[in-house]
Amino acid sequence: MIRHELPAASWPTAAEAEAAMLFSPLRLGPITAQSRTWVPAMVPWRATEDGFVSRDVIDWYGRFADGCPGVLVVEATGIRDVPSGPLLRAGHDRFVPGLRQLADTVRERSGGRTRLLLQLIDFLSIRRRPEKAKFFARFLTLTDRHREAMAATDDEVVRQRLAAADDDTLRRVLTAREYRDYAWGYRDEVNDVHLQHVRELPQVLPGLFAAAAQRVEAAGFDGVELHYAHAYTMASFLSKTNVRDDGYGGSRAARLRLPLEVFTAVRAAVGDGFAVGTRFLGDEVIEGGSRIEDAIEYGVAFARAGFDFLSVSKGGKFDDARQPKVGEAAYPYTGPSGHECMPTVRSDERGPFGRNVHLAAAIRRAVRAAGAATPVVAAGGIGEFALAEGILQRGEADAIGAARQSLADPDWWEKMRLGRGAEIRRCIYTNYCEGLDQKHKQVTCQLWDRDFDPDEPEIPRSHDGKRRLLPPPWQTR
């Protein structure tokens, strides 16, 4: 493990910025972004407990809009009408007015210069890691394997003996899946076709995604990004670990089937002027998972199907997540794949800066070779001008996604464009923000969340009252 220094930044003059590819327009199917600057989805834990847009959500995206990125993607938003805590939802028409207010705010505060997308997500159920006694008394379905290993026929005795067994014994006696349910917490998988709600996903999801996209369009957004990345349902269908035998798993073509059917349903449900893109993984970074060879085939298939953009991410899976504490749920950004998703300065020799660009570049090359012009978005440790402009100039990507740098300083795009790069507050890539996300706490940045100016009017604070929820204003505008 090496601790990397932030690379020296070279910022453009206003004239250089004006001539830069970074600040040139980009067609995304039916819409045009005014620049190739892109804020990828980030969940800030600010929605109401029942999934509505709150005042804090509006302030949050309004603050990003101040920096006028070419594209701003609103956080992963659930397509179903089911309780899911303070995560945004688009699973019912009652969510539309709040989303409309959000879209209006972003349009106003960016002066119409930011195209606003929303990321649509479906996720399967996941439970917290259970207490040992409870798991063996209630949750585990007993089989003859357990009865034999515990040398008892009375199920109560089998349960008691399992509850008293040490970890080595449990690893031997339980199946890999049972051990995982015990030690990490139960979660549904797309391979669980014995469960009706999992078996029916291919029948249910196209309609759910399509209806949610329609609501997002009705709310005045410019498009949607279908979340086919990280630890969630659609990424699991694309995963090489998907072995469903119902025509939706196994071969690459079968794994692609549902993602393409979802796209077809969404495209048919929304108007011609509405962009539909996707975020998917260039590499899952898990044992037995999809690699760049799979992602290249997916990218080409998505481009041919008519997706308006392809945003490439990496890792972020449950499969290698760190073991959670009892009472907590596994978090997909804790293991090696999670580290690849949000790389930090504590890294290998390659370091975090532009670490995942080669994946976007390989996908883009294949898409172009297939004759499609679909734009490709790269992200991961991109936080300075020379790196961003170089990626575009070399044709490695068509747009530059910067999540954490935009959180550290949402005005950084405007500061760059105006030749005032020296005023940029640079992300230090140590993942304090990700730690808050992991604890489901309101996400803020360590570079500004204790920065209180006594002359500033009252600003919203975190639930514990200690942190400001919004980046300080750019004083010298």
Ligand X SMILES: Cc1cc2nc3c(=O)[nH]c(=O)nc-3n(C[C@H](O)[C@H](O)[C@H](O)COP(=O)(O)O)c2cc1C
* Cβ partners under 8 Å of residue 143, min gap 6: none
| 8 A C-beta contact, residue 95 and residue 46 | no
The CA distance from 301 to 327, in Å, is 41
Residue 313 contact, options ligand SF4, ligand X, none, Cβ 5-8 Å cut-off depending on partner type: ligand X
DSSP label of 146: H
Binding mask 299-328 for ligand X (x = CB under 6 A): --------------x---------------
Q: Which of 101, 169, 430, 462 binds ligand SF4 (CB under 6 A)?
A: 430
DSSP label of 50: T
**279 strand-pairing partners:** 227, 311
Footprint of ligand X on 61-120 (CB under 6 A): 75-76, 119
Tokens coding 97? 């007015």
| 8 A C-beta contact, residue 188 and residue 251 | no
| 8 A C-beta contact, residue 185 and residue 134 | no
Please, what is the minimum distance in Å from the beta carbon of residue 157 to ligand X? 47
Residues touching ligand X, count (CB under 6 A): 25
Please, what is the minimum distance in Å from the beta carbon of residue 149 to ligand X? 42
Of the two residues 258 and 443, which places its CB atom closer to ligand X in the complex?
A: 443
The CA distance from 223 to 28, in Å, is 10
The CA distance from 87 to 226, in Å, is 16
The CA distance from 448 to 467, in Å, is 9
Binding mask 438-467 for ligand X (x = CB under 6 A): -----x------------------------
Residue 137 contact, options ligand X, ligand SF4, none, Cβ 5-8 Å cut-off depending on partner type: none
Our finding on whether 305 is near ligand SF4 (CB under 6 A) is no
Of the two residues 71 and 158, which places its CB atom closer to ligand X in the complex?
A: 71
Of the two residues 136 and 232, which places its CB atom closer to ligand X in the complex?
A: 232
Which segment (12-20, 34-42, 287-295, 453-461) binds ligand X by CB under 6 A?
Answer: 34-42
Of the two residues 33 and 42, which places its CB atom closer to ligand X in the complex?
A: 42
> At residue 156, what is the residue type?
E
Our finding on whether 382 is near ligand SF4 (CB under 6 A) is no
The CA distance from 170 to 172, in Å, is 5
Please, what is the minimum distance in Å from the beta carbon of residue 145 to ligand X? 39
| 8 A C-beta contact, residue 222 and residue 272 | no
| 8 A C-beta contact, residue 208 and residue 91 | yes
| 8 A C-beta contact, residue 405 and residue 426 | yes
Residue 430 contact, options ligand SF4, ligand X, none, Cβ 5-8 Å cut-off depending on partner type: ligand SF4
Of the two residues 259 and 471, which places its CB atom closer to ligand SF4 in the complex?
A: 471
The residue with tokens 């269908």 is 237
Binding site for ligand X (CB under 6 A): 40-43, 75-76, 119, 227, 229, 279, 313, 341-342, 379-382, 402-405, 433-434, 437, 443
Binding site for ligand SF4 (CB under 6 A): 404, 407-408, 427-433, 445-447
